[in-house]
């Protein structure tokens, strides 16, 4: 048998619509009216404001460790925008804006990062899974949900988001494969923020893009400017429509940058330069969208200011609700793994409650 070259049919597309100066490629611009554009803008501002407030609260000891998402607002609002209410989302832990868009309550995000189960309970009428912290453990759930949708012929779509580091996990590759084999209606969004904690993307994979990994599984991958909300909306809308038509999955690589630390527990100065961060500040997804809105006369400075103030008030109200329901209940840790506690756990719970009671009575005496 001769040695010969097999010609592969696929290519990887790359898309960007809105540049850093807010200039738009009108041939590619999605047809969104002013109200829709402002709704998208508000959601991005809300994501940013919540992130900033949470960072301050964490530094004040008012919430636990969390994973900031500054810089990734266009990615998450862009991929969530085309999803319908009846669709399913299997979220990343770095996308509170997408969760709030879907109907999660702001205070739930804070409860989650403070260790409360209430923060992981999907609100009534929302078809989402809670956030998964084990890296790369959730795309396989999305593949399974998509396979179920396919078998039941429901015309729903499932979208899952995860980081670039997650694509090195075996489970994620299994998810890519099963979704392809079943032609399941799954949209995979890799939020390539270029770091997995301190590990840069170049050390994560030798592949030139993350998007091209889809080709090995027999479907399309596309690389998108993840700081360009319009490009994110266009690409995700195409992937969602394709999935709904029954034409199978897509892998979207959103090329973006994590502007803050991985979580509030690490110091990014130890593994990347200030110059690199400064370069990405110029590509801020919010600034470029503001310029676009003004150029397009969808908003003026005054309206943008009003939206900001409105968002500050909404976040403040959410924080106040959170602080009201944030009453420590340490014994709850026994309540959510088993429907019925094993005898050993029941004994441990009783012992733990007795220790708490002793501590309380000691504190009362002092
Ligand atoms: C299974 C597992 N291994 C390791 C960790 C520790 N860990 C938390 S986040 C992270 C990096 C994830 O990077 P990436 O997938 O790129 O997502 P990002 O955090 O950048 O959004 C690691 C290794 C974990 N949570 N779960």
Whether 200 is in the pocket of ligand 1, judged by its Cβ within 6 Å, is no
* Pairing mode of beta strands 195-196, 199-200: antiparallel
**Predicted confidence (pLDDT) at residue 8 exceeds the cutoff of 80:** no
- Of 330, 320, 311, nearest to 39 by C-alpha is 311
Q: How far is the CA of 134 from the centre of ligand 1 (A)?
A: 7
Count Cβ atoms within 10 A of the Cβ of residue 72 and give its class: 0-12 exposed, 13-18 middle, 19 or more buried.
Answer: buried
Average the pLDDT over each of 185-194, 231-240, 277-286, 346-355 and give the range with the smallest value: 346-355
CB-based contacts of 258, cutoff 8 Å, min separation 6? 68, 69, 70, 71, 72, 94, 193, 194, 195
Q: In angstroms, what is the span from residue 110 Cα to ligand 1's centroid?
A: 20
257 and 194 Cβ atoms separated by less than 8 Å: yes
Q: Is the pLDDT of residue 366 over 80?
A: no
Q: How far is the CA of 246 from the centre of ligand 1 (A)?
A: 32
130 lines ligand 1 (CB under 6 A): no
Q: Cα of 304 to ligand 1 centre, how many Å?
A: 35
**Tokens representing 349?**
């719970």
Q: C-alpha angle 18/22/27, rounded to 5°?
A: 40
Average pLDDT over residues 273-283: 97
Write the pLDDT tens digit of every residue in 24-67. 999 999 999 999 999 999 999 999 999 999 999 999 999 999 99
Residue 244, pLDDT > 80, answer: yes
Pick the CATH number of 13-327 from 3.30.70.890, 1.10.10.10, 3.30.565.10, 3.40.50.970: 3.40.50.970
* Euclidean distance between CA atoms 260 and 267, whole angstroms: 9
Q: Write out pLDDT tens, residues 209-219.
A: 999 999 999 99
The residues that are catalytic are 258, 262, 271
Q: Which atom of ligand 1 is nearest to the CA of 197?
A: 11
Q: What are the pLDDT digits (tens) for 323-340?
A: 998 777 777 888 878 889
pTM of the predicted protein model: 0.93
Would you state the pLDDT for residue 273? 97
Identify which of 135, 254, 258 to mutate to test ligand 1's pocket (most ligand atoms within 8 A of the CB): 135
* Ligand 1, atom nearest to 94 Cα: 21
Closest Cα to atom 21, ligand 1: which residue?
163
Nearest CA to ligand 1 atom 20: 196
Q: Where are the domains of the chain?
A: 13-327, 332-365
The answer to whether the beta carbons of residues 124 and 145 sit under 8 Å apart is no
Report the separation in Å between the CA atom of 213 and the middle of ligand 1, taken as the mean of its atom positions.
Answer: 19
Residue 138 Cβ inside 6 Å of ligand 1? The answer reads no
Q: Does 196 sit in the ligand 1 pocket, CB within 6 Å?
A: yes
């Amino acid at each position: 048998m001769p040695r010969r070259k097999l010609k592969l049919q696929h290519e990887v597309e790359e898309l960007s619509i809105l540049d850093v100066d807010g200039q738009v490629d009108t041939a590619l611009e999605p047809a969104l009216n002013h109200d829709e554009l402002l709704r998208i803008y508000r959601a991005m501002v809300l994501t940013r404001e919540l992130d900033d407030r949470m960072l301050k609260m964490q530094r004040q000891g008012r919430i636990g460790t969390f994973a900031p998402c500054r810089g990734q607002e266009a990615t998450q609002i862009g991929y969530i925008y085309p999803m319908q209410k009846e669709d399913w989302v299997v979220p990343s832990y770095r996308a509170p804006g997408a969760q709030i868009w879907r109907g999660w309550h702001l205070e739930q995000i804070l409860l989650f990062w403070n260790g409360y189960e209430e923060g992981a309970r999907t609100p009534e009428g929302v078809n989402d899974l809670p956030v998964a912290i084990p890296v790369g453990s959730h795309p396989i759930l999305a593949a399974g949900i998509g396979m179920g949708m396919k078998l039941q012929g429901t015309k729903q779509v499932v979208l899952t988001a995860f980081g670039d580091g997650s694509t090195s996990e075996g489970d994620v590759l299994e998810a890519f494969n099963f979704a392809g084999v079943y032609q399941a209606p799954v949209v995979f969004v890799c939020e390539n923020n270029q770091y997995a904690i301190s590990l840069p993307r170049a050390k994560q994979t030798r592949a030139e893009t993350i998007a091209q990994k889809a080709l090995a599984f027999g479907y399309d991958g596309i690389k998108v400017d993840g700081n360009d909300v319009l490009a994110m909306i266009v690409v995700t809308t195409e992937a969602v429509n394709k999935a709904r038509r029954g034409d199978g999955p897509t892998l979207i690589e959103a090329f973006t940058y994590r502007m803050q630390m991985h979580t509030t527990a690490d110091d990014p100065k130890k593994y990347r330069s200030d110059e690199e961060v400064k370069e990405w500040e110029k590509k801020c997804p919010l600034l470029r969208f503001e310029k676009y809105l003004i150029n397009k006369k969808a908003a003026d400075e005054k309206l943008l200011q009003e939206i900001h103030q409105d968002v500050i008030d909404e976040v403040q109200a959410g924080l106040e609700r959170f602080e009201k329901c944030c009453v420590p209940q340490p014994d709850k840790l026994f309540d959510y793994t088993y429907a019925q506690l094993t005898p050993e756990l029941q004994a441990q719970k009783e012992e733990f409650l007795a220790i708490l009671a002793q501590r309380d009575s000691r504190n009362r005496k002092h």
